[in-house]
């Protein structure tokens, strides 16, 4: 029996809807990324199907086995009773969980998009212009060193970036275009390669937007946002559709020196079904942003009264960045339950950043301000074939994939500057880096068991042309195999146990690889998870996991030389808890708890702390949701004290920040108020242990440097749909 499940209003495919034949209550199946399903049926004539998905009204239909069926679902207030724990070898992860969170608390920026992932923290420390600093599973991932981020299958991370390995600037995403967020923790996923050690985050944009929209927001610190979503082909949604989205963001921020932050975003997507089985999806996007930044400031300067905590030592920091993308997907479904997907993408990327971490440590006359810049062309292609086999007592889903990614970076620069004026070049060169890969995955389901085995092969080649050297080093290359295994046992629709084992890797910076003649190109990561998913009753959903992760080589970003620094073997152990509870039809409660013990294995006890690695964090909130009328939320995020250096003599301070929002929603308009830092907490957002020297200091000092967290801020919103 084949069919597709759609949103009745927008005709958008519904991902991960549960479909079952009523006569076979134990066999439950997911819809895929196109809302399609294919299930074996017990009869040859008519069957009665049951379809459900959280946030939609469940339905039951009578259909002919021989004829594909289209099933529209109508939206309603989310109910956790619609979530069931199922045994399925469909390639899906936590779509349902993040869909609940997105539905209950719509996001307004990329920081909040990332925060939808349970256990993930972000910190911004350059006036909103730089990629966020990311924390996950006991990792300070810096800007993306240990977490793989993608949008519609196109990588966000930039390898061998001028500001750090894996730099993941997701600011080209317009939040209202995101329909699903898939994520996974650990290195257990065959289709995820470089940088997938702590985990991955995969954003998926709407094929069709629910409605056209104009939205205005205005708030504290001269903050302004304008958004427009336009449905271009309203009358042809099932066969052909297209939409565009445009966004402007501007703010001066809470700092004494205005940030003059300005960002423009544009996104367009076109979908065409050439037949029942062949589909084309094409999208283009681009963004451009400029900003000034007050930078991180030494704690001693504030304590001594030299500057205000919202002041600056060097207010000439800031930057400019642009990215333009084209992404193409062509897919075809064969009559034998096979799906062939081909994706190609290209990006043009420009980056320029002025920073000052140490002030007058190295140059007591001009200061230590640096300029990091690059221009990059990114090309990629991936092809994947999946085939599902059905047996009397089980099923096998086979997945095969190949692909290549090529980064051509020009004029990757590190320069010494004063107030953005060039003094001398420290590094300058061109980087060419390619990554070819192949993977296979076999998912065999029988009874309550699921056995999921995968193997991935990656080949990386790095070349660096140093424009400041006369003698050039040859290109270096290496390959790595990464096996994966997941075993899952579903006790019933309310309880499921699983164990995951896997190997992953993060590549080193190409400049380091070439200089070291190919040593430690691809240090591996080895992980293990033991977890349980529970539904104690219809109102609860729990996920508890105990995990372990070992890295052959930890990478630490060193700001002054623009590279990552290998710092030895590390191990992390921890426990994650995800809890969702529905108090009644309209009230929901969320809780995420994350405990980790990160340690370096190549250092003596007491000197083995991993700087900035989080040991305990928690997020949660209370949400009120109706289909029309009043909606609201109050949420918190807590990050505990953590070592800022190897001996824990400098401590990055804990913080607890609460946000709130209330909206009044009708079919054609919405008005709302959101409050950031509801209780006006004094907190530090980004924190580092830094050795620096101020203009009046005779000797360097190592202490805590930080960027101040946003104080109480309010924002008003008006949205009109048509």
Which has the higher per-residue pLDDT, 696 or 651? 651
Per-residue pLDDT tens digits for 521-565: 899 999 999 999 999 988 999 999 999 999 999 876 555 555 556
Domain ranges of the chain: 1-88, 199-721
pLDDT, average across residues 32-45: 78
pLDDT at 235: 65
Taking a C-beta distance cutoff of 8 angstroms, is the pair 131, 143 a contact?
A: yes
Element (H, E) at 239: none
Lowest mean pLDDT: which of 66-70, 187-191, 528-532?
66-70
Residue 95 has pLDDT above 70, yes or no: no
**How sure is the predictor about 190, in pLDDT bands with cuts at 50, 70 and 90?**
very high
What's residue 589's pLDDT? 95
- Is the distance from CB of 610 to CB of 599 less than 8 angstroms? yes
What is the rounded CA–CA span in Å between residue 432 and residue 665?
50
**Percentage of the chain with pLDDT > 90?**
72
Nearest Cα residue to 402 out of 368, 442, 435: 435
Residue 88 pLDDT class (50, 70, 90 cuts) = low
Integer Cα distance of 480 and 639 in angstroms: 35
- Predicted local confidence at residue 25, as pLDDT: 58
Q: List, for residues 138-174, the tens digit of each pLDDT value.
A: 999 889 999 999 999 999 999 999 998 999 999 999 9
Average pLDDT score, the chain:
91
Q: Would you state the pLDDT for residue 556? A: 66
SS3 of 171, please?
coil
Tell me the per-residue pLDDT of 401-452, one tens digit each, with 9 for 90 and over: 999 999 999 999 999 999 999 999 999 999 999 999 999 999 999 988 999 9
Residue 90 confidence (pLDDT) = 57
C-alpha–C-alpha distance, residues 231 and 242, integer Å: 6
Distance CA 141, CA 557 (A): 10
The answer to whether residue 197 scores a pLDDT higher than 70 is yes
The arrangement of strands across the sheet holding 147-151 comes to 154-155, 147-151, 199-205, 178-185
Task: Over range 637-656, report the average pLDDT.
Answer: 96
Q: Which two tokens stand for residue 57?
A: 């009204």
- The model's pTM is 0.94
Q: Is the pLDDT of residue 127 over 70?
A: no
Among 61-75, 182-196, 388-402, the range of highest mean pLDDT: 182-196
Q: Which of 602, 511, 610 is nearest to 556 (CA)?
A: 610
Distance CA 323, CA 318 (A): 17
Chain centroid to Cα 383, Å, comes to 22
Closest CA to 520 of 507, 502, 539: 507
pLDDT at 678 over 70: yes
Sheet of strand 701-708, all strands in order from the earlier edge strand to the far edge: 297-298, 701-708, 684-692
Q: 512-540 burial string, b = 16+ CB within 10 Å, else e? A: bbbeeebeebbbbbbbbbebbbbbeeebe
Instruction: Identify the CA nearest to 707 among candidates 684, 677, 681.
Output: 684
Counting DSSP H helices and E strands in the chain, the numbers are 4, 45
> Are 244 and 266 a contacting pair, CB within 8 Å?
yes
Taking the C-alpha atoms of residue 241 and residue 272, their distance in angstroms, rounded to an integer, is 7
Compute how many other C-beta atoms are within 10 angstroms of the C-beta atom of residue 230. Answer: 15
- Across residues 310-338, what is the average pLDDT? 94
Residue 81 has which token pair? 């009773």
Task: Locate 406 and state its tokens.
Answer: 């090529």
Q: What is the pLDDT of residues 462-512, one digit of tens each?
A: 999 999 999 999 999 999 999 999 999 999 888 999 999 999 999 999 998
Name the percent of the chain lying above pLDDT 70: 95
- For residues 163 and 524, what is the distance between their CA atoms, to the nearest angstrom? 23
Q: Does the pLDDT at position 26 exceed 70?
A: no
The average pLDDT across 565-594 equals 92
CATH topology of domain 199-721: Maltoporin; Chain A (2.40.170)
- Report domain 1-88's class: mainly beta
Q: How confident is the model at residue 218 (pLDDT cuts 50, 70, 90)?
A: very high
For the residues 97-101, what does the mean pLDDT come to? 76
The pLDDT tens digits for 584-594 are 989 999 999 99
List the beta bridge partners of residue 578: 543, 592
Nearest to 414 by CA among 398, 431, 402: 431
| Half-sphere CA count of 277, side-chain side, radius 13 A | 11
pLDDT in tens, 702-715: 999 999 999 999 99
> Per-residue b/e over 477-507, b at no fewer than 16 CB within 10 Å?
ebebebebbbebebeebbebebebbbbbbbb
Full DSSP string of 310-362: T--S-TTEEEEEEEEEEEEEEEEE-TTSEEEEEEEEEEEEEEEEEE-SSBTSS
Q: Are 145 and 160 within 8 A, CB to CB?
A: no
CB 555 within 8 A of CB 145: yes
pLDDT greater than 80 at residue 647? yes
Residues 74-102, mean pLDDT to the nearest whole number: 72
With beta carbons less than 8 A apart as the criterion, state whether 133 and 707 touch.
Answer: no
């Amino acid at each position: 029996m084949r069919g597709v499940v759609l949103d009745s209003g927008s005709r958008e495919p519904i991902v991960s809807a549960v479909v079952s034949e009523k006569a076979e209550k134990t066999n439950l199946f997911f819809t895929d990324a196109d809302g399609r399903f294919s299930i074996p049926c017990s009869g040859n004539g008519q069957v009665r199907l049951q379809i459900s998905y959280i946030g939609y009204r469940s339905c039951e239909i009578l259909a002919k086995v021989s004829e594909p069926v289209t099933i529209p679902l109508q939206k309603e207030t989310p109910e956790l009773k619609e979530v069931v724990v199922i045994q399925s070898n469909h390639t899906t992860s936590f779509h349902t969980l993040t869909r609940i969170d997105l539905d209950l608390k719509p996001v307004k920026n990329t920081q909040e998009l990332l925060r939808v992932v349970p256990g993930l923290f972000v910190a911004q420390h350059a006036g909103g212009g730089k990629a966020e600093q990311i924390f996950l599973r006991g990792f300070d991932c810096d800007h993306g060193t240990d977490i793989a981020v993608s949008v519609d299958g196109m990588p966000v991370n930039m390898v061998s970036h001028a500001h750090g390995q894996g730099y993941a600037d997701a600011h080209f995403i317009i939040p209202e275009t995101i329909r699903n967020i898939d994520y996974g923790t650990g290195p257990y996923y065959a289709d995820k390669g470089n940088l997938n050690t702590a985990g991955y985050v995969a954003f998926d944009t709407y094929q069709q937007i629910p409605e056209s929209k104009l939205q205005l927001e205005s708030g504290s610190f001269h903050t302004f946002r304008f958004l427009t979503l336009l449905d271009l082909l309203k009358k042809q949604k099932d066969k052909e559709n297209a939409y565009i989205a445009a966004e402007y963001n501007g703010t001066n921020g809470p700092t004494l020196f205005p940030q003059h932050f300005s960002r423009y975003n544009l996104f367009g997507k076109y979908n065409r079904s050439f037949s029942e089985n062949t589909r084309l999806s094409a999208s283009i996007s681009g963004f451009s942003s400029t900003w000034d930044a007050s930078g991180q400031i030494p704690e001693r300067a504030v304590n001594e009264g030299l500057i205000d905590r919202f002041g600056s030592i060097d207010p000439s920091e800031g930057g400019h960045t642009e990215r333009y993308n084209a992404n193409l997907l062509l897919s075809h479904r064969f009559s034998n339950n096979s799906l062939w997907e081909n994706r190609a993408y290209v990006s043009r990327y420009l980056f320029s950043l002025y920073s000052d971490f140490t002030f007058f440590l190295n140059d007591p006359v001009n200061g230590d301000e640096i300029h990091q810049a690059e221009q990059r062309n990114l090309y990629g292609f991936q092809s994947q074939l999946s085939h599902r086999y059905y047996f009397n007592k089980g099923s096998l889903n086979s997945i095969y994939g190949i692909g290549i990614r090529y980064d051509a970076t020009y004029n990757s620069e590190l320069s010494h500057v004063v107030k953005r004026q060039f003094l001398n070049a420290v590094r300058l060169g061109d980087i060419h880096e390619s990554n070819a890969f192949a993977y296979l995955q076999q998912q065999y389901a029988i009874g309550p068991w699921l056995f999921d085995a995968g193997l991935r092969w990656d080949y990386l080649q790095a070349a660096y042309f140093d424009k400041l050297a006369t003698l050039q080093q040859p290109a270096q290359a290496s390959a790595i195999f990464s096996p994966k295994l997941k075993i899952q046992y579903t006790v019933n629709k309310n309880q499921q146990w699983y164990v995951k084992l896997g190997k992953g890797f993060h590549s080193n910076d190409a400049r380091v690889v070439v200089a070291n003649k190919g040593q430690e190109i691809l240090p591996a990561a080895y992980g293990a998870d033991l977890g349980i998913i529970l539904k104690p009753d219809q109102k609860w959903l729990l996920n508890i996991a105990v995990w372990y992760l070992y890295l052959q080589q930890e990478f630490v970003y060193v700001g002054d030389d623009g590279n990552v620094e290998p710092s030895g073997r590390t191990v992390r152990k921890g426990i994650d808890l995800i809890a969702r509870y529905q108090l009644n039809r309209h009230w929901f409660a969320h809780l995420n708890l994350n405990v980790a013990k990160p340690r370096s294995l190549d250092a003596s006890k007491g000197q083995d702390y991993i700087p900035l690695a989080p040991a305990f964090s928690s997020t949660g909130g209370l949400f009120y949701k109706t289909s029309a009328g009043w909606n609201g939320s109050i949420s918190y995020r807590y990050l505990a004290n953590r070592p800022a250096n190897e001996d824990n003599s400098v401590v990055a301070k804990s913080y607890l920040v609460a946000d709130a929002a209330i909206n009044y929603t009708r079919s054609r308009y919405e008005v709302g108020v959101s409050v950031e830092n509801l209780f006006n907490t004094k907190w530090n957002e980004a924190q580092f242990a830094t050795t620096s020297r101020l203009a009046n200091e005779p000797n360097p000092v190592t202490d805590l440097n930080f960027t101040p967290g946003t104080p109480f801020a309010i924002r008003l919103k008006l949205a009109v749909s048509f």
